[in-house]
Structure 1
Amino acid sequence: MTHRIVVLGGGYAGVIAARRLADRLADRLADRLPDRAKAAVTLVNASDRFVERVRLHQLAAGQNLRDIPLRDVLKGVRLVVARATAIDLETRAVRTDDGQEIPYDTLVYTLGSRGGTAGVPGVAEHAFRIADHDGARALRRRLADLRQGAVAVVGGGLTGIETVTELAESRPDLDVELITEGAAGDWLAPRARAHLRRVFDRLGVRVRENGEVAKVADGEVLLGDGQAVRYDAIAWAAGFEMSPLAAEAGLAVDADGRVLVDATLRSVSHPDVYAAGDAAALEDGATRLSCQAAIPMGFQAAENVAARLDGRAPRRFRLRYVGQCVSLGRRDALFQLTRTDDTPIRAVLAGRAVVPLKETVVRSTVMALSRPALTKAIGTNASRR
């Protein structure tokens, strides 16, 4: 009897998990293992294209990204292009918006995250959420219509910083401002923050720090102090949110809607469900929302599903961070080295020489989609303890 594995979501974690599982199953067939080891992998995703989320700021700025059809990287995986609308944990089936009901024996939940509103009224109606593909494309179209004007980027995290520098460099005809609730890049080491300031000054980026946004209207940002500032476009990069699907199904989730998993990435409430990437929260603390975490988590979830099918002991997942690489336009970047727990250290690489490093890191994530074994080099750490 064939064991049916369904991977839900075609982002970094989902594609890596599906492809690694398919490779593992191909190895079993080559070894002529008994019927109990046979399995089939299905990936369910709303699009037939892979989205490089780490490049969406480039898309918004008018650059063309590579077209990556999922079928080109999902060797040995059945692809279902449909949006999941429900999970029935009792009958073990995924329901989709086109009326399909896809049964599973093991579910790997990797629906990831999407751009959030941070609870601010008017964001969904009047701002472009650039952490999502559709939002980035919509902002691109809006900027193409502008020959001059003011653009606000709200959010002082990595997405906001990469977006505001990309826009300022590619569109010097626009007045670009970064609005952040705290200090821009306040998690970085002092040397990295100093470099960031120099880049902002060089590109002409205005920075409005400690600028709490109370409301977004049509072409206007209302700040917490009552000040209303007019803009021709508002790019939103403040906060993320999870799909409600896991919570609606009855899976144990944390306060943000991320699936609670044990050290082997298995759901704490439903042992036939695994979760990885942004959508998963380890019992001892959630990982940072990033492909740096999603890729090794997807890889290890696949390894542990395969191990249990073979009757082997699964391995505990542990992510050891190395650093954060930040693009600052096409001609500048910085690399903040960190401890393994993701806290910054004094060591920082910055400037034009870091640009090739950043590009190599980004390209390696796409290479790993069709060569999941590369994930070990990117940062998977597991133990049997």
Structure 2
Amino acid sequence: MSTTHHVLILGAGYAGMAAATQLAARTRKADVHVTLVNAQERFTERLRLHLTATGQRVAELDIPPLLERTGAHFVRGWVTAVDAHAKTVRIDDSRVLRYDTLVYGLGSVTDTAAVPGVEEHAYTLDGDATTLSDRLARLGGGTVVVVGSGLTGVEAAAEIAERHPELHVVLVGRQDPGATLSAKARSHLRAALARLGVRVIGGTAVTKVLPDGVELADAQTVAADVVLWTAGTRVSPLAAAAGLTVDDRGRVVTDSTLRSMSHPDVYAIGDAAAIRQGYGVLHGTCQSGMPTGVHAAVSIARTLRGRQPRRFRFGYYHTPVSLGRNDAVVQFTRPDDSPRRGCLTGRAAVWYKETVSASPWPTYRRMTTMPSSGVFWPRGGRFTRLRGDAR
């Protein structure tokens, strides 16, 4: 009878890739089989989807090469079901994969179901960023409405306006752009949008997406040739269907070590997890996602050595926002993500953002060669070391 311990990691986003590479490195000499499952072979850099959407080239990162010489195995397939009782996962080609420990990191996608017309008439930055790029290139003129005034919407609106000055860009959202930033950072952000010619309609919601525009809460209609939807996210219903305890958004509720509250052989990471810290529940970002993946890997490695996993602790450090290719703002934050007084703007912010948000490839490569006594991972723009007692 095999004594191999099978760890199955679902989702190869920032968190899942971090979990796979680090766990494989930490269990290289143990009888542990690490398998990473993802729907496609290409690694999606979500931080750069606004570049893809405007026809700019980004690095081509494929998952199998990222996993070379790590000891982790890759399986391509859509996850269609999780059986938490039988400890199996079914993928779309009818294969059934079994596990002893599951790392659930299926992430989130843009919520296109909450408002009528989004599915039929709007683009998102999830799977059709390239399609949006082609559409924008063919327009030649007209109006693009970006719905969602959060940071994703701001970055997308600025990028489109800069890349396509022939287009009229309108940014619509419930909040004013940069509402969570300090006064100085917010002022710079809004000035940059004005310089790029982006019209801002704040303090209102889109209630319906039409074939030729959007309808606002006050019944006003804004005409559009293209609508880009960035307002809100949703997670896969698979966790709830599997019987895992989830919150009202469908995210797996974890204990302080990132284990599922209802199924301790399941860890949840990244956007798919409802991870509570002293200041509240983490919101999904690369900044917090990669540390959750690393922590899950460290916890699993500790457990396999007969030790107890440690409590996950995380504090935010910054909020970088690109405003086209030649401008940006970086808001430094307190651990609870509230703004500090300090911020960077202009070229200094561009340099900073490109440095700390660089391709994750070198980071994953570093993880494959780290000694088991410690690991570094990007935490809010810095590299943070886990002490040797984290083994």
Query: TM-score w.r.t. structure 1 length?
Result: 0.94
Structure 2, unmatched stretches of 5+, are 368-374
Would you say the 8 A contact 1:168–1:205 is kept in 2?
yes
Give, in angstroms, the shift of residue 380 of structure 1: 5.4
Give, in angstroms, the shift of residue 260 of structure 1: 0.6
Q: Tell me the distance in 2 between the aligned counterparts of 1:118 and 1:192.
A: 33
Q: Secondary structure at the match of 2:357?
A: helix
Corresponding residue for residue 32 of structure 1: none
Identical pairs, percent: 48
Corresponding residue for residue 79 of structure 1: 74
Give, in angstroms, the shift of residue 54 of structure 1: 0.4
Q: Tell me the distance in 1 between the aligned counterparts of 2:229 and 2:378.
A: 34
Give, in angstroms, the shift of residue 219 of structure 1: 1.9
Corresponding residue for residue 350 of structure 2: 355
Would you say the 8 A contact 1:300–1:382 is kept in 2?
no
Give, in angstroms, the shift of residue 230 of structure 1: 1.2
1:333 and 2:328 correspond: yes
Give, in angstroms, the shift of residue 364 of structure 1: 5.4
Corresponding residue for residue 15 of structure 2: 13
Q: How many residues align?
A: 374
- What one-letter code is carried by the residue in structure 2 that aligns with 1:329? G
1:296 and 2:298 correspond: no
Give, in angstroms, the shift of residue 365 of structure 1: 3.3
Q: Tell me the distance in 2 between the aligned counterparts of 1:71 and 1:21.
A: 16
Match of residue 128, structure 1, among 123, 131, 155: 123
After the TM superposition, which segments of 4 or more aligned residues of structure 1 sit over 3 Å from their partners? Answer: 376-385
Give, in angstroms, the shift of residue 376 of structure 1: 5.7
Give, in angstroms, the shift of residue 295 of structure 1: 0.4
Give the superposed CA RMSD: 1.6
- What one-letter code is carried by the residue in structure 1 that aligns with 2:254? V
Corresponding residue for residue 83 of structure 2: 88
- What one-letter code is carried by the residue in structure 1 that aligns with 2:56? Q
Corresponding residue for residue 369 of structure 1: 364
Match of residue 158, structure 1, among 142, 151, 155: 151
Would you say the 8 A contact 1:319–1:379 is kept in 2?
no
Structure 1, unmatched stretches of 5+, are 30-36
Give, in angstroms, the shift of residue 117 of structure 1: 2.9
Q: Aligned ranges for residues 98-247 of structure 1 at < 5 Å?
A: 98-117=93-112, 119-130=114-125, 132=126, 134-247=127-240
- What one-letter code is carried by the residue in structure 1 that aligns with 2:43? F
Q: Secondary structure at the match of 2:51?
A: helix
Give, in angstroms, the shift of residue 64 of structure 1: 1.5
Q: Secondary structure at the match of 2:222?
A: strand
Q: Deviations over 1:26-55 (max 9, x none)?
A: 1xx2xxxxxxx4111000100011000000
Corresponding residue for residue 308 of structure 1: 303
**Comparing both structures, which one devotes a greater share of its residues to helix?**
1
Q: Secondary structure at the match of 2:342?
A: strand
Q: Tell me the distance in 2 between the aligned counterparts of 1:319 and 1:64.
A: 33
Q: Tell me the distance in 2 between the aligned counterparts of 1:196 and 1:271.
A: 44
Q: Deviations over 1:61-108 (max 9, x none)?
A: 111111111011112111000000000111100000001000000000
Would you say the 8 A contact 1:335–1:348 is kept in 2?
yes
Q: Tell me the distance in 2 between the aligned counterparts of 1:260 and 1:270.
A: 10
Corresponding residue for residue 26 of structure 2: 24
Give, in angstroms, the shift of residue 379 of structure 1: 5.7
- What one-letter code is carried by the residue in structure 2 that aligns with 1:99? S
Q: Tell me the distance in 2 between the aligned counterparts of 1:219 and 1:366.
A: 40
Query: TM-score w.r.t. structure 2 length?
Result: 0.92
- What one-letter code is carried by the residue in structure 1 that aligns with 2:314? L
Would you say the 8 A contact 2:376–2:385 is kept in 1?
no
Would you say the 8 A contact 2:15–2:269 is kept in 1?
yes
- What one-letter code is carried by the residue in structure 2 that aligns with 1:140? S
